[in-house]
Structure 1
Amino acid sequence: MKFAQEFRKSLQREGFPQRWVESAIPYGQLKKCIKKVTNELKELGLDREVLAQLASSQKDSSDSSSALSGDVGFRYNLNEDTTDSRHVRPSLTVFVHLSEGVAVDAYLTPATRRFLEKIASKASPDRGSSPDSSRPGTGSPSTAASSCVPAESLPSPGPGSAAELARPSLVQRVEVPLVFDGEFFNILQTDVSNLDTLQGEEQKRLQEEVRNLGREVTKITAPSKGRKSRRDLEKWREIFELYLDARVFFSTRESDHGPRTSAQALEQLKWFQDQVLQRNILQDLRLEASRQAFSRFLNMNAVLLQNLKFQEINSKAVTKILKSPSRANPLPFA
């Protein structure tokens, strides 16, 4: 079964509140957006073969100068959108070593050579600007910003290389805006932010419920209320001791220290409830208010468990989205 179907069925099957479902990661929409990104790259001439060769040429480079010192390379950057700080603007910067408009790296495949010459011809280099001063345009590769640096001013790529034989030549830097890649990240950022907001609201609500329940139990079990209250106080102490032993959502033991998964938390919660039943604690509660408070306590744990499941489902969706495209080509999330 495809994950998109599994994800959709999980949201329906678990009985999450409607507002939670509406805030879930739009997995299907993001998958469609990834297809748009792939098509966008293909239209640029960036198929898997070209990307693989460009990525291979950049394995050992860590900054712009090292990129320029080779014959060809590329940089994939995620920059903050100047018009909206909540969003990012992805861009692809390609460094092309040209001699009379022809890519001169002897190791280029025909497909990569065609791509480099295509974007170099579409971009309009400004010989009066430096590589660092070029800024990306928007829309299509034809509006990409570019700049040129004489190859003679760069560190020598080594004797016998194509660049050495082809002098004089230029290294042209071309920044290609990635429209649909930007759309992908904007959708993902917005929805992850909405999920964070939802989780914050749910956390505040549960914290308030815990405080209210604590005040209620304190009031119910006040010694001044009589013998029944004192008896129920002993039972509540037993309940909380069992709950701490259950370590429902987090374990402090050395053997399994850390947060529980929803499946583990469910097992621990069942263990806690079984212990309460086996010890007849509910039957021993003398006050109806105590029994109602215990029911509220279980309901809070059920909501916490449901919340944990919801987080896991969405986290898995994000992981699937971010990992699946990286298997297709070396450009992140493309």
Structure 2
Amino acid sequence: MHFSKTYTQLLLDLPPELRENAIQYRQLKKLINQVVLELGALGLHPDVLQKLLEDEKRADAKGNQKETSINASLEPINDHSVHPKVVYEFNSKSGKIEPQLRIWINSPLSLASSDVPHDAEANLDIGELETPDEHTEDTARRNISLLWALQRNSEIQDWEEDSPQIIEVEDSSNTTQEQLLPVKHPILALDNQGTPQEIVIPLVKDSAFFELLSTALHNLSDRMSALYTDFTDTLETVSRNISDSARPISSRKNSFHPHSVLSNPGTVSITSKTNKSDLYSWREIFQLYVESEVFESSNEANPGELSIEQSEKRLKLFAERVTLRGLGDKRKLKLKQSHEALESFLQLNMFILNVKKLEQANAEATRKILKKHAKRTALPLPPGQDYYAQELALIPRSKTNPSLNTLPRVLVQALGETLLPIIPHVDDYSCIICTNLAFKPIRLGCGHLFCVRCLVKMQKRGQGDCPMCRSPTVLIADRSNVDWGLMNFMEDWFSEEAHEKLKASEREATEEHFREMGFDPDQKCIVM
């Protein structure tokens, strides 16, 4: 299947707000055909133009800057090669992308107009330029046509009076399709001093091609900026809905009683209370989302941004896992706004995926259309055009982080920074020794955090150094090292985990106490 059909089919699968600003690939192909006709009307057929540009590249590579001298009469011309210099460039004066051909011609020292019949002058066509054949006189005469005949609408007498060294070809913006066909060119008047003549030919249809491409990409960039604004607004709305539906215990009146430094850590207890909140459901959803790694992989073997196919597959797998665990219905999501927030969350991910598809399709379409332009017209994109390379950029780069040069990565980062931190994760508040919730939290003098049960074990073993930094802070820790603020936070946001950790700590402390007394806690009680 041709890329044009594949590109069209891909655009049909995208939503209208993304599809309407896509690159008009077929229209650009039609403009390339018009560029070929425009060059043909000037006698610069692709094979001729390609040969001239390749000769110029080889000459520049060898450092050959010498100009070929041509005798005054037509007879010696047949025995000497005439190599014009052709450069394809962008005019930077207007601030727009205006392609043009700049040609330098080595002219004869003197030329009598009577030596060449007028009919012969009119019949010379620069499209017939080939390498001079020293055995064929007709071939040499056709080669000379490039030196003189370049544009039909040029006025010879005005060129001699106004600009003896540079010829600016008239703008042919009103040229019709019939006028773009190959025509016969008059011979331009040449300098009698034998100095190189510089001729500038603006390419109207080529300018239209780059103007259409540049306009499409700029419109796409503007549209992407607007979509990014809408995305951030929707993201804020979703984050508020999730925050309202995933409320902690303290959101209910008289259901949470915070502790203070005046409290006794040994008497702290947690009662399991039912709370009409989807906190744990959303925590499970976000945990599944992080594990799915929909858009970026943290795997050491293959880190970085994933392909569209991989992202689409992982997003589908994430949705299936959410459904299998009952997180998409009323079994676990109790509130209506949670269902709406989950739907919006999935839509945001689909939007990022569609943006990735559009960005990749436009990048591929731009690459292919520029390649087709260079192949059909033999006009390569001028090297070193940094300004126009920026003009043809799909979207602006991130100012804060240059590596984030694509909108999908910016959206993924915004998603991770805005939504995921809403629900505190238990791994961020776990003890590094037992890997469970660090309840009751003890903050050592060095600043590291551990649960009280693990520190008590270390003190009984006489291990006085901090497991993290080896500071001698374990044996001197007491009740003053209890982090009451963090304890209240854990009890509020991790009530179930804190309740389980407290019961496990009490059970383990009881078993140790029995062992110290000489009893086996695993032995069944025997009544005599």
Normalised-by-shorter TM-score class? 0.7 to 0.9
Tell me the residue number matched to 1:320.
368
Cα 1:250–1:123 shift into 2, 3 Å: farther
> Alignment partner of 1:23: what SS?
coil
Tell me the residue number matched to 2:278.
232
- Tell me, yes or no, if structure 1 residue 306 matches structure 2 residue 354: yes
Tell me the residue number matched to 1:95.
104
Deviation at 1:115, TM superposition (A): 2.9
Between the two proteins, what is the percent identity of the paired residues? 27
Aligned-partner Cα distance in 1 for 2:28–2:130: 39
Tell me the residue number matched to 2:87.
75
Deviation at 1:60, TM superposition (A): 4.2
Cα 1:34–1:302 shift into 2, 3 Å: same
- Tell me, yes or no, if structure 1 residue 4 matches structure 2 residue 50: no
Deviation at 1:15, TM superposition (A): 4.5
Counterpart contact for 1:78–1:88, Cα < 8 Å = yes
- Tell me, yes or no, if structure 1 residue 220 matches structure 2 residue 245: yes
Aligned-partner Cα distance in 1 for 2:209–2:242: 49
Of stretches 52-61 and 121-130 in structure 1, the one that deviates more from structure 2 is: 121-130
Aligned-partner Cα distance in 2 for 1:66–1:228: 88
Cα 1:207–1:106 shift into 2, 3 Å: closer
Cα 1:41–1:204 shift into 2, 3 Å: same
Deviation at 1:130, TM superposition (A): 8.6
The answer to which structure has the higher helix fraction is 1
Cα 1:219–1:50 shift into 2, 3 Å: same
TM-score, normalisation: structure 2: 0.51
Counterpart mapping for 1:146-161 below 5 A:
none
Counterpart contact for 2:167–2:199, Cα < 8 Å = no
1:172 to 197, 209, 221: 197
Counterpart contact for 2:276–2:334, Cα < 8 Å = no
Aligned-partner Cα distance in 2 for 1:237–1:219: 14
Counterpart contact for 2:245–2:277, Cα < 8 Å = no
In the comparison of the two structures, how many residue pairs are matched? 305
Supply the AA of the counterpart residue of 1:285.
L
Counterpart contact for 2:100–2:201, Cα < 8 Å = yes
Aligned-partner Cα distance in 2 for 1:318–1:286: 49
Aligned-partner Cα distance in 1 for 2:247–2:163: 79
Q: Deviations over 1:6-57 (max 9, x none)?
A: 3333322x1522x433322111211111100000111111112211221122
Higher gyration radius (CA): 2
Aligned-partner Cα distance in 2 for 1:297–1:147: 72
Deviation at 1:88, TM superposition (A): 1.3
Q: Deviations over 1:295-321 (max 9, x none)?
A: 211121122222222222222222221
> Alignment partner of 2:44: what SS?
coil
Q: Deviations over 1:274-294 (max 9, x none)?
A: 222333333322323222211
Tell me the residue number matched to 2:146.
115
2:55 to 49, 54, 57: 57
- Tell me, yes or no, if structure 1 residue 264 matches structure 2 residue 310: yes
Deviation at 1:192, TM superposition (A): 0.7
Q: Deviations over 1:182-209 (max 9, x none)?
A: 1111111111100101111111111111
Q: Deviations over 1:209-236 (max 9, x none)?
A: 1111112211221213456657622221
Deviation at 1:135, TM superposition (A): 7.4
Supply the AA of the counterpart residue of 1:9.
Q
Cα 1:91–1:228 shift into 2, 3 Å: farther
Tell me the residue number matched to 1:192.
217
- Tell me, yes or no, if structure 1 residue 37 matches structure 2 residue 35: yes
Aligned-residue Cα RMSD (Å) equals 3.6
Aligned-partner Cα distance in 2 for 1:96–1:120: 14
Supply the AA of the counterpart residue of 2:362.
N
> Alignment partner of 2:15: what SS?
coil
Aligned-partner Cα distance in 2 for 1:24–1:106: 41
> Alignment partner of 1:294: what SS?
helix
Aligned-partner Cα distance in 1 for 2:100–2:277: 69
Deviation at 1:68, TM superposition (A): 7.0
Q: Deviations over 1:221-261 (max 9, x none)?
A: 12134566576222212222221222222334343333333
Q: Deviations over 1:140-173 (max 9, x none)?
A: 499xx999696xxxxxxxxxxxxxxxxxx33221
- Tell me, yes or no, if structure 1 residue 241 matches structure 2 residue 287: yes
Counterpart contact for 2:89–2:99, Cα < 8 Å = yes
2:336 to 285, 288, 291: 288
Counterpart contact for 1:68–1:171, Cα < 8 Å = no
Supply the AA of the counterpart residue of 2:57.
K
Aligned-partner Cα distance in 2 for 1:259–1:207: 21
> Alignment partner of 2:294: what SS?
coil
Tell me the residue number matched to 1:155.
none
- Tell me, yes or no, if structure 1 residue 139 matches structure 2 residue 171: yes
